[in-house]
Structure 1
Amino acid sequence: MATAPTLSELLDTARVVSIPTRTRFRGISEREAVIFTGPQGASEFSPFLEYDDAESARWLAAAMEFGWERPPLPHRKAIAVNATVPAVPAGAVPEILARFPGCRTAKVKVAERGQALADDVARVQAVREALGPDGAVRVDANGGWTVAEAFAALARLAPFGLEYAEQPCASVAELAELRTLLASAGIAVRIAADESVRKAEDPLAVARAGAADLIVAKAQPLGGIAGALRIIKEARLPVIVSSALDTSVGISMGLHLAAALPNHLLAGACGLGTVALLEGDVAVAPLIPVDGKLPLTRPTLDSAAIDRFAAPPERTRWWRDRIERCYEALDPVGLPS
């Protein structure tokens, strides 16, 4: 990184926000994030609370890169995005989809703790009925199934015409086994790897094992746009770019990653419309889909909104301490180049 910020420079611009979610998502009802202002514009640091410092340091490296380095040249000026349907009752699906105007692809959360397969089937069926036969439906289990559970679930869900199943099982070996079982049974559901790429010590293991048909790439967890592009190039698999329930600032980072991908690698609508799941945002013009797309842009920060969603002092201290620890965790490897 040519102009890497010092820790003091990071902390001087850091604003911690806490934004309520419209629906409980990933077990949380408040999304906390740190917003920095660098020479290239606003940047975001928002690893989930349970992530340790070593993993979270990659998210900090991404924030530093996006705020202090120019992104790569884009191949497109707008990105098609999917709707994201949390693990809500089937009756709530139309309300959720209405937040994603024009989106013809939907990713549906399944394998939620405390729910049954019947809940997943009803939710996916409701999405298929809402989108009609021409819409694309994906499911995301976040590694919540065993191989046997995933096989049984996807056998039930496949008749709804799934585009793919994202991270149905936790490990690379399980994904490979499931992919073989599905093929042997004639169940035409592709497998996408998310956590097996972004949370893995070896993000290319899934490609070498033939455990997935495509990968899901997220800029923050992979250490930034440049790091994500290196992994994508080596994996040689089609890619969907996604987010981690970011504010518009983090979404912009994902948009720049998606825009930098050559046409033959970008596999479809990206999971970058999730600002619609938040009760507010930090941008003057929040990145909400219009006609199913988002423009490639860097948002202008809304100072009034940042003040309105400012985290309590104790949470601000917690995040500033986390920034310090993660900054130290970048050494002795050093800052990304």
Structure 2
Amino acid sequence: MTPAIDELLATARVVALPMNTRFRGVDTREALLFEGPQGWAEFSPFVEYDDAEASTWLAAALDFAWHEQPAPLRDRIAVNATVPAVEAARVAEVLARFDGCRTAKVKVAERGQRLADDIARVRAVREVMGPDGRIRIDSNGGWNLDEAEHAVHALAEFDLEYVEQPCATVSELAELRYRVKHKGIPIAADESIRKAADPLAVAEAKAADLIVIKAQPLGGIRRALSIVAEAGLPAVVSSALDTAVGLAQGAALAAALPTLEYDCGLGTGSLFADDVADARPVAGSVSAARVVPDAGALDRLAADPDRRDWWLARLTRCHAVLTARV
């Protein structure tokens, strides 16, 4: 049963978190938080998403706040550092915020940048992390097939753990995987899972070696676990630039996976200059426990009234979408 909208509005808090470094075009991350019988949850689809897509994020939040979650199999989750598309000279500064992380995910294919910028950034990460560090790159589907093949060859010297969503479509991923198979660099699918009408198409097309899953975009922990089971591929749990509350849901998902072979992208609390709770990694890992936002932080980070009204209206619309589905 979907709780009434009045129940959500009664505890809803809209926050605006400042970021240390611009990431995915965002300087301030907005989110709506509310409390249910099981605890706090987060509703934070990116502002450009329509109500139909955003309502899936709300379904995830409602499930996390109102229902008991699958039992955890681990209490801490090893996480990666996340390096935005910064200049190579800033890499050490960024990595210093991720205490003890042995893996780094490096953003590449940023609009307005060149492959040379990506090479310099990844080289700087390798220099800071040393030969034992693990490096994965993420282009968010920013390359076409030929660009992706060229980039993989150019970046292979840095001993990549995998390449995340190098191309936008499943067919491109499948072809790229065939073309670079001799390099021994796995292909991971992200957007082709979380934004797809059929998240299992990647596995059926043999287009990826592993999948990246996120609790909010996939509709909650149970649905994400189901997708992993049906896909039959190793999974990496990542964040959608969540606050500490949303990161706790991602950590609960990672804790419930039967196997967890890769460090997860749940250390993104270190990208924020301030948060509703401290979700930064310690010694390379984060807790899988639920998070209760700090009352003072909720006040300190409260969004402007016009943005609060925008989010509450969005919540109401998306709630109506979910109710109509039932």
Question: Which TM bucket (shorter chain)?
Answer: over 0.9
Equivalent residue for 2:308?
316
Q: Distance in 2 between matches of 1:242 and 1:27?
A: 18
Q: Distance in 2 between matches of 1:116 and 1:64?
A: 41
Q: Does 1:325 align with 2:317?
A: yes
For residue 280 of structure 2, give the secondary structure of its aligned residue in structure 1. Answer: coil
For residue 325 of structure 2, give the secondary structure of its aligned residue in structure 1. Answer: coil
For residue 332 of structure 1, give the secondary structure of its aligned residue in structure 2. Answer: helix
Q: Name structure 1 gaps, 5 residues minimum.
A: none
Matched residue count:
326
Q: Does 1:187 align with 2:207?
A: no
Equivalent residue for 2:98?
100
Q: Name structure 2 gaps, 5 residues minimum.
A: none
Q: Which runs of 4+ in 1 moved over 6 A?
A: none
TM-score (norm 2): 0.99
Equivalent residue for 1:221?
217
- Give the letter aligned to residue 197 of structure 1: I
Equivalent residue for 2:5?
7
Q: CA deviation at 1:287?
A: 1.2
Q: Distance in 1 between matches of 2:166 and 2:244?
A: 28
Q: 5 Å matches for 1:68-217?
A: 68-183=66-181, 186-217=182-213
What are the superposed Cα offsets for residues 53-73 of structure 1, whole Å, 9 maximum, x if unpaired?
111001000110111111110
- Give the letter aligned to residue 112 of structure 1: E
What are the superposed Cα offsets for residues 49-108 of structure 1, whole Å, 9 maximum, x if unpaired?
111111100100011011111111011011000000000001101110011010000000
For residue 122 of structure 2, give the secondary structure of its aligned residue in structure 1. Answer: helix
Q: Distance in 2 between matches of 1:331 and 1:209?
A: 34
- Give the letter aligned to residue 37 of structure 1: E
Q: Distance in 2 between matches of 1:316 and 1:290?
A: 32
Q: Please say if residues 158 and 188 of structure 1, whose CA atoms lie closer than 8 Å, have aligned partners that are also in contact.
A: no
TM-score (norm 1): 0.95
Q: Distance in 1 between matches of 2:224 and 2:78?
A: 19
For residue 41 of structure 2, give the secondary structure of its aligned residue in structure 1. Answer: strand
Which one of 59, 62, 65 corresponds to residue 60 of structure 2?
Answer: 62
Q: CA deviation at 1:5?
A: 1.8
Q: Distance in 1 between matches of 2:38 and 2:323?
A: 24
Q: Distance in 1 between matches of 2:253 and 2:47?
A: 24
Q: CA deviation at 1:331?
A: 3.7
